[in-house]
Structure 1
Amino acid sequence: MSAALLFLGVAAVLAGPMARGLSRASWPSRAPSLGMAAWLSLQFTTLLSIVLVGLSLLVGDLPHEWTPIAFFHACADAVQHHSWQGNTPLAWMGGTLALAMSARVVGVLLFRGARRRRELGKHHALLRLVGSPTIQSDLVILDHPMPAAYCIPGRRGVVVISEGALGLLSPSQIAQVLAHERAHLRARHHRVLFLADVLASAFFGRFGLANARMHVAQLAELHADDAVPAPERPALAEAVVAMASRDHHPLGALAATGGATAARVLRLTAGTRPLSGVQRAAARSLVAATLAMPAVVGFIPMATRALLDYCFPY
């Protein structure tokens, strides 16, 4: 039970105070890639901690000297020999919790992955029919009056811009919009967003991590904005404002007008001060500490026992 309480405490801290603190922090917008990593690490570690709560209830109490390695050995033995903790209701609840959370994530991964591939496949096929290729192999012009610009990921990702956008934007604005979309494809932001979506689904729209995908999506837009040269960012801001109210893009696409438009425009026009080397190192340490938290907490009983033996040897 002690192990289950420890892992439950980790999950509560991550999904509560840490998630709220990260959502209010300003540093992720100054280092979007690290911000995305922070949100993904929070999601993954919270989910892992909840699964470990279930496994802890399944195997029952361990000796005071237990270590993470001993814990996982106990889990493996319990599964192999069906030696649940006396087949008690608590053990069955723990096993059900661990299995349900794991199955939900795997199920969502398979279901949404298949749906996403179908939608992107349909759009790629549609673009081959109605889109006009250009001398740039990754650029397709869509004959549609609505201003739109987005990228479609895939084995050969493409950037799509409509005739409406070409007529609305200046050449400089068009160039920066295309640079923004190509940055999405280079950084594989669609994979990051898909992972955030799958992990968020495990929480059934509850807790502080339910909006993690929204934060990751906004940071992905900022990360793509940063790929545009600083002198050209006002042109991108003008393009975002011009298209924001009339843009439309398909499921699975990353659009130039995505994210919180007002915040993006302000950031593009006023600029932002990047994190210093020390601040960046601290952010990386936060991500690493979040991922290592279950293992670190797992050593607490052993460390406590060692400290007591040292202080009170007799």
Structure 2
Amino acid sequence: MTSLLLLAWATAVAVTVPRAVTARSWSRAVPRVAIGLWLGALVSATGAVLGAGLLAAVPPAALAAGLDGIIGACARALTRLGAPDETLAVLALAATAALATRLTIGAVATVRAARRWRRQHLAALSPVASPGPTDGCTLVEHATPMVYCLPGRPGHVVVTRGALDTLTPQQLDAVLRHERAHLRGRHHLLVAVAAAFHRALPGLPLARAAEDEVRRLVEHLADDRAGARHGRHTVAAAIVRLAGNTPGHALGAGAPSVDRVRRLLAPAPPRSTARHLLGAAAIILLLAFPVATTGTAAGMAVHKATCSQPAAPAGN
């Protein structure tokens, strides 16, 4: 029953969160909270499925024996493949292992692809790069107006000659602050988590929507940081001049989005403590429910198995 409850929870999260968060006005007002909800939903849904598989695959007595018992139960289920009494355990074990494997491979592949792209991109830039207009910037002699960042140690902010010719000094300062906000906030890690889930689960609408939305929302975060110092209209004008000119795995002010410009041209929304508290509570619920449910069910199973064991005979 607990496994069914966890699967129902995963389904509810996968269906409800995209409808509640995607393109909502409140999510544009509090992008940090919205990012937390998207990533929390991904972790919650997959954690619930993994917990359901574990509880279905491992009997209570094996849970009571700890890790050795769990490994032994899995081994017995595999050796008795085809036995009627082990069918459910084998299916649950196979599904859980497949999901865990896909998540692991997706995470590793996403990180490796991003690092490889950044290495190749930096190598391609080096022959035409020179110190930029400010510390920590790299100037590239290219006519296309681009300003973007390449995360890493250290991070790089790349500015093209076309951007210097296109942007006013105020707009250039604004987009540089935008890029530094990406680097300081480690926004590439947030995008990488969502991308890894999407790579691992390409058929899951929640994963696809989460990657798209997290990419959009980190741009809102950086826009807000730049707009707070240089003015929202200045940032919007710079986005228009750089629109569509951000390469590959990079994060940049020119990431195309009419929604970003409209958001910046509208008055800044007032800060709402209640909205942040509600969002934090929702994120905590998303993360806690699968863990608490799985842990409670496992604890009850262990207690039941322990209590059902015959008492040891008294000594003489």
TM-score range, shorter chain: 0.7 to 0.9
Residue type of the alignment partner of 2:71:
V
Q: Aligned to 1:266, which of 244, 262, 265? A: 262
Q: How many angstroms does 1:26 deviate by?
A: 2.6
- Deviations along 1:187-246, whole A, 9 cap, x unmatched? 01111101111122232232333210110011100000111144522111011112215x
Residue type of the alignment partner of 1:114:
R
What aligned pairs does 1:149-188 form with structure 2 within 5 A after superposition?
149-188=147-186
Residue number in structure 2 paired with 1:66: none
Distance of 1:166 and 1:218 partners within structure 2: 25
Q: Aligned to 1:253, which of 247, 250, 254? A: 250
Give the conservation status (yes or no) of the 8 Å contact 2:167–2:238: yes
Residue type of the alignment partner of 1:180:
H
What aligned pairs does 1:128-277 form with structure 2 within 5 A after superposition?
128-134=126-132, 136-230=134-228, 232-245=231-244, 247-249=245-247, 251-258=248-255, 261-277=257-273
Residue number in structure 2 paired with 1:77: 69
- Deviations along 1:266-300, whole A, 9 cap, x unmatched? 11121331441122111111111110011343448
Residue type of the alignment partner of 1:162:
T
Residue type of the alignment partner of 1:92:
V
Residue number in structure 1 paired with 2:47: 48
Distance change in 2, residues 1:112/1:252 (3 Å):
same
SS of the aligned residue for 2:130 comes to strand
Q: How many angstroms does 1:83 deviate by?
A: 4.4
Distance of 1:132 and 1:34 partners within structure 2: 38
Q: How many angstroms does 1:27 deviate by?
A: 2.1
Distance change in 2, residues 1:76/1:9 (3 Å):
farther
Give the conservation status (yes or no) of the 8 Å contact 1:151–1:255: yes
Distance change in 2, residues 1:88/1:274 (3 Å):
farther
Residue type of the alignment partner of 2:265:
T
Distance of 1:98 and 1:234 partners within structure 2: 50
| 1:101 correspondence with 2:93 | no
Deviation larger for 127-136 or 292-301: 292-301
Residue type of the alignment partner of 2:175:
V
Residue number in structure 2 paired with 1:91: 89
Distance change in 2, residues 1:186/1:16 (3 Å):
same
Residue type of the alignment partner of 1:240:
I
Distance change in 2, residues 1:212/1:168 (3 Å):
same
In structure 1, the gaps of 5 or more residues are 64-69, 304-314
**TM-score for both structures, normalised by structure 1:** 0.85
Residue type of the alignment partner of 2:275:
Q
Distance of 2:68 and 2:290 partners within structure 1: 18
SS of the aligned residue for 2:152 comes to coil
Q: How many angstroms does 1:107 deviate by?
A: 1.0
Residue type of the alignment partner of 1:217:
R
Residue type of the alignment partner of 2:142:
H
Residue number in structure 1 paired with 2:304: none
Distance of 2:136 and 2:148 partners within structure 1: 12
SS of the aligned residue for 1:161 comes to strand
Give the conservation status (yes or no) of the 8 Å contact 1:180–1:228: yes
The count of corresponding residues between Structure 1 and Structure 2 is 292
Deviation larger for 204-213 or 32-41: 204-213
Residue number in structure 1 paired with 2:277: 281
RMSD: 2.5
Q: How many angstroms does 1:162 deviate by?
A: 0.9
- Deviations along 1:106-163, whole A, 9 cap, x unmatched? 1122222222211111222233321111363310111111111100111011111111
Distance change in 2, residues 1:32/1:72 (3 Å):
farther
Distance change in 2, residues 1:209/1:20 (3 Å):
farther
Residue number in structure 2 paired with 1:311: none
Residue type of the alignment partner of 2:72:
Q
Distance of 2:246 and 2:274 partners within structure 1: 41
Give the conservation status (yes or no) of the 8 Å contact 2:110–2:199: no
Distance of 1:30 and 1:90 partners within structure 2: 46
Give the conservation status (yes or no) of the 8 Å contact 1:150–1:159: yes
